[in-house]
């Protein structure tokens, strides 16, 4: 495996580049100004776009339950696909050796701050240093909200007893950014190469921007998404999940615009914190030797298709922003081939010229880093729950299948002419052969990705537990 590093190297480790992972929470792909959203202000993410390689077709593979962020974050760190993550990634056993674990064996300082949504035992294996750790999925208002997140100091024993957690007096994104900044300015970040993972909890709800950004966007000036609907047109299998009850039914245009305005405010606040971290890299002389990876853990509907959350297989929920920037990475380059968040770990292994462990299932994006016009896969497969599956192909077609309460629904979209997925073509007689081909391709992908469902059976071959966990 050839190195991607070129001639630049760390003074302390000839193979050592620093790695900085910036991971946002519930940020859909259409939320960066320089990538086409002219209503949002994201100057620091725009800087990353200008100084790096943007993957414009990046996807979370999905999840089998509402908290898609759990498998997303486990896939990020292990390079494993979703169907073979124990408990959807809430537990990462010793056998699934992770990127930070490998880097620790190579002499790296591995540092984390922010959200951790898996077990504490795996956390202790992965990180040698940390601070302001949030164990959980979201900052519920009764637990301090985004304004006062409940966090933990690093516990070398790995126990993290509840009574030692505390409420911060700082807004979540600022807290996690400042913790990363303090680490980057420390001796630890200079003595050895580092892996620094900053796992933000923004822009996840509660959508309560910090005071500076609370009124940054006027709802009256927000453009309603072209695919806005008051209600989803059929039962997609998870219409009563928590995310879908954050606003009343049916959705109103005014409520959605207000929600998007708050969402944008949180993203702009997050962008400011990312700018502070990048400025620290420059100040500390670390920027030229650090690979920066920015990505969102999953998308969000925000009124599209009558939905609010990420518990579906539409583009707004499975597609995320993803940018690589650093030594040897093309600048101001964009790639439109299909990639997964899971690909980040094997890409970093190749970038560092480190042999990936055998548990890795995803693909290295090294060929794309070397040539931004290349690709690593022909199609993209996605999963949500035990009742919906999708496949998307390079010719622009996307097939979504549902099996909810015995009712099977098919959607076919031509994303080249209908990027907002407004027009279902499944009943078009001229496209039945296309649907048949895509069903066969989906079945092939499901087998290869260890998906146990069988979409040709009436109940898809679901087990009793799978049937009881869905609609």
CATH 3.40.720.10 in the chain: give the residue spans. 18-378
Q: What per-residue confidence (pLDDT) applies to 471?
A: 46
Note the pTM of the prediction, 2 decimals: 0.96
For the chain, where do the domains classified as CATH 3.30.1120.10 start and end?
386-469
Q: At what angle do helices 69-78 and 344-351 cross, to 10 degrees?
A: 20
Given a contact cutoff of 8 angstroms between Cβ atoms, the answer to whether 163 and 155 are in contact is: no
Q: Which long-range contacts does 214-221 make (Cβ < 8 Å, 24+ apart)? A: 214/265, 215/265, 216/41, 216/264, 216/265, 216/268, 217/39, 217/40, 217/260, 217/261, 217/262, 217/264, 217/265, 217/268, 218/261, 219/254, 219/257, 219/258, 219/260, 219/261, 220/257, 221/39
* Partner residues linked to 335 by β-bridges: 55
Give CA torsion, residues 171, 174, 180, 182, to 10 deg. -100
Whether the bond between 206 and the residue before it is cis, its omega within 30 degrees of 0, is yes
CA dist 79 and 58 (Å) reads 14
- The number of beta carbons lying within 10 Å of the beta carbon of residue 260 is 22
| pLDDT attached to residue 3 | 46
What is the per-residue DSSP string for 40-65?
Answer: S--HHHHHHHHTSEEETTEE--EESS
**Residue 388, token pair as written in the block:** 């919906």
Q: Which of 28, 59, 63, 26 is nearest to 316 (CA)?
A: 28
Nearest to 403 by CA among 390, 421, 419: 390
Q: Domain 386-469 belongs to what topology?
A: Arylsulfatase, C-terminal domain (3.30.1120)
Backbone angles phi, psi at 245, to 5 degrees: -110, 15
Q: In this predicted structure, what is the pLDDT of residue 469?
A: 52
In this structure, which topology does domain 18-378 adopt according to CATH?
A: Alkaline Phosphatase, subunit A (3.40.720)
Task: Output the DSSP codes for 216-271.
Answer: SS-GGGPPPPTTB-SS-SS--S-TTSGGGGSS-SS--HHHHHHHHHHHHHHHHHHH
The tens place of each residue's pLDDT in the chain, 471 residues long, gives 344 543 333 334 434 699 999 999 999 999 999 999 999 999 999 999 999 999 999 999 999 999 999 999 999 999 999 999 999 999 999 999 999 999 999 999 999 999 999 999 999 999 999 999 999 999 999 999 999 999 999 999 999 999 999 999 999 999 999 999 999 999 999 999 999 999 999 999 999 999 999 999 999 999 999 999 999 999 999 999 999 999 999 999 999 999 999 999 999 999 999 999 999 999 999 999 999 999 999 999 999 999 999 999 999 999 999 999 999 999 999 999 999 999 999 999 999 999 999 999 999 999 999 999 999 999 999 999 999 999 999 999 999 999 999 999 999 999 999 999 999 999 999 999 999 999 999 999 999 999 999 999 999 999 887 875 554
Q: How far is CA 143 from the centre of its chain?
A: 24
What is the model's pLDDT at position 466? 82
Beta strands 319-320 and 58-59 are antiparallel
H-helix or E-strand containing 111? strand 109-116
């Amino acid at each position: 495996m050839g190195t991607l590093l070129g001639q630049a190297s760390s003074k302390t480790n000839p193979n050592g580049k620093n790695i900085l992972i910036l991971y946002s929470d519930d940020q859909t792909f259409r939320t960066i100004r320089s990538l086409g959203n002219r209503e949002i202000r994201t100057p620091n993410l725009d800087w990353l776009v200008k100084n790096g390689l943007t993957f414009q077709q990046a996807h979370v593979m999905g999840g089998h339950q509402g908290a898609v962020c759990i498998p997303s974050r486990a896939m990020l760190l292990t390079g494993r696909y979703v169907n073979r993550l124990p408990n959807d990634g809430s537990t990462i056993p010793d056998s699934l050796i992770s990127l930070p674990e490998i880097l620790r064996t190579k002499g790296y300082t591995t540092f984390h701050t922010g959200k951790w949504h898996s077990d504490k035992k795996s956390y202790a294996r992965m990180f040698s240093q940390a601070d302001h750790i949030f164990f959980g999925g979201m900052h519920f208002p009764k637990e301090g909200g985004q304004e006062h997140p409940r966090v933990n100091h690093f516990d070398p024993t790995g126990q993290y007893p509840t009574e030692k957690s505390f409420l911060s007096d700082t807004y979540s994104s600022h807290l996690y950014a400042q913790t990363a900044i303090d680490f980057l300015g420390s001796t630890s970040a200079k003595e050895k190469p580092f892996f620094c993972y900053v796992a933000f909890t923004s822009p996840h709800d509660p959508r309560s921007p910090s005071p500076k950004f609370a009124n940054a966007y006027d709802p009256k000036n927000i453009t309603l998404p072209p695919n806005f609907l008051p209600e989803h047109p059929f039962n997609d299998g998870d219409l009563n999940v928590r995310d879908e009850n954050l606003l009343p039914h049916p959705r109103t245009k005014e409520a959605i615009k207000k929600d998007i305005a708050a969402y944008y405010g949180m993203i702009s606040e997050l962008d400011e914190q990312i700018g502070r971290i990048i400025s620290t890299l420059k100040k500390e002389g670390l920027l030229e030797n650090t690979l920066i990876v920015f990505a969102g853990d999953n998308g969000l509907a925000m009124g599209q298709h009558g939905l609010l959350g990420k518990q579906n297989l539409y583009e707004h929920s499975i597609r995320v922003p993803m940018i690589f920037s650093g030594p040897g990475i093309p600048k101001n380059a964009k790639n439109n081939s299909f990639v997964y968040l899971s690909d980040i770990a094997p890409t970093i292994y190749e970038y560092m010229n480190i042999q990936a462990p055998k548990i890795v299932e995803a693909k290295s994006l090294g060929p794309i880093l070397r040539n931004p016009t290349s690709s690593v896969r022909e199609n993209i497969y996605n999963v949500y729950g035990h009742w919906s599956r999708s496949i998307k192909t390079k010719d622009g077609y996307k097939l979504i299948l549902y099996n909810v309460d015995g009712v099977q629904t098919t959607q076919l979209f031509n994303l080249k002419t209908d990027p907002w997925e407004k027009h279902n073509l499944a009943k078009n007689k001229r496209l039945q052969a296309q649907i048949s081909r895509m069903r066969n391709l989906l079945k092939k992908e499901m087998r290869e990705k260890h998906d146990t469902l069988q979409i040709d059976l009436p109940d898809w071959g679901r087990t009793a537990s799978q049937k009881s966990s869905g609609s």
